[in-house]
Chains A and B, each alone.
Chain A
Amino acid sequence: GDSVTQMEGPVTLSEEAFLTINCTYTATGYPSLFWYVQYPGEGLQLLLKATKADDKGSNKGFEATYRKETTSFHLEKGSVQVSDSAVYFCALSDLGAGNMLTFGGGTRLMVKP
């Protein structure tokens, strides 16, 4: 079945540091890929998405590129802020699996001033 693997956290960075959170996936079909963010006490909200190979999703300074050859969708940001502290989830939606969502385990990011 489909699966998503993320790097384990927590990831602790200083403000303005570069961020990478690794995500790899396995899927039977042609998935769309997503990054969601969860702030404390809230539900998940979409951060960015990519629907086909080589697409780059971007939002709020975050970027991720859909790499089919390496089955990866790593999240990056050039300069993190304290307000980016949250849990980040990589996910896929696979047409071959009835479009069911599959999530990674989540990575907690803590940014210190």
Chain B
Amino acid sequence: NAGVTQTPKFQVLKTGQSMTLQCAQDMNHNSMYWYRQDPGMGLRLIYYSASEGTTDKGEVPNGYNVSRLNKREFSLRLESAAPSQTSVYFCASTRQGLEAFFGQGTRLTVV
């Protein structure tokens, strides 16, 4: 009953460093999403993937890249981290038109 698994749970980066956030789901869902949540704010969509092999930009894609490696995995990469990317990142997956399942989040701090 793993659902959506995100790694790592916490990360501290220096400005300019790169890293990849990993996300995997075991529910055979087609759609996967990456969101960021800033203090006092709602969720903002970074990228999404409607199916394996496709990715699309969301509301705040600048500074990020994604890879839909296969149906299970959807990774988010920060090529050159900036303090403005300090946030909590959530991965989610859905079946068509049904509810989303979320990971526990990655708390990222860029210093």
| Known contacts A32-B98, A43-B105, A46-B100; is-contact A101 B42 (Cβ 8 Å) | no
Q: Please state if A106 and B42 are interface contacts (CB–CB under 8 Å).
A: yes
Which residue on A lies nearest to B43, using beta carbons? A103
Alpha-carbon gap, A93 to B98, bound state (A): 8
- Interface hub of B45, B99, B102, B104 (most chain A Cβ within 10 A): B99
Alpha-carbon gap, A75 to B96, bound state (A): 24
- Interface hub of B35, B41, B45, B100 (most chain A Cβ within 10 A): B100
- Interface hub of B43, B92, B104 (most chain A Cβ within 10 A): B43
Tell me how far the C-beta of B72 lies from the nearest C-beta in chain A, rounded to whole angstroms.
Answer: 18
Partner of A99, one of B31, B102, B104: B31
Q: Please state if B42 and A51 are interface contacts (CB–CB under 8 Å).
A: no
Alpha-carbon gap, A34 to B4, bound state (A): 19
| Contact surface of B with A, Cβ cutoff 8 Å | 4, 31, 33, 35, 41-43, 45, 48, 50, 90, 92, 94, 96-105
Partner of A49, one of B50, B99, B102: B99
Alpha-carbon gap, A40 to B5, bound state (A): 18
A82-113 interface (Cβ within 8 A of B) = 89, 91, 93, 95, 98-101, 103-106
Alpha-carbon gap, A105 to B37, bound state (A): 10
Q: Please state if A42 and B104 are interface contacts (CB–CB under 8 Å).
A: yes
Q: Please state if A99 and B94 are interface contacts (CB–CB under 8 Å).
A: yes
A45 contacts partner chain B, Cβ-Cβ < 8 Å: yes
| Known contacts A105-B42, A106-B42; is-contact A99 B92 (Cβ 8 Å) | no
Q: List 14 A-B contacts (CB under 8 A).
A: A32-B97, A43-B90, A44-B43, A45-B102, A51-B97, A89-B43, A99-B94, A99-B96, A100-B50, A101-B94, A103-B42, A104-B42, A106-B42, A106-B43
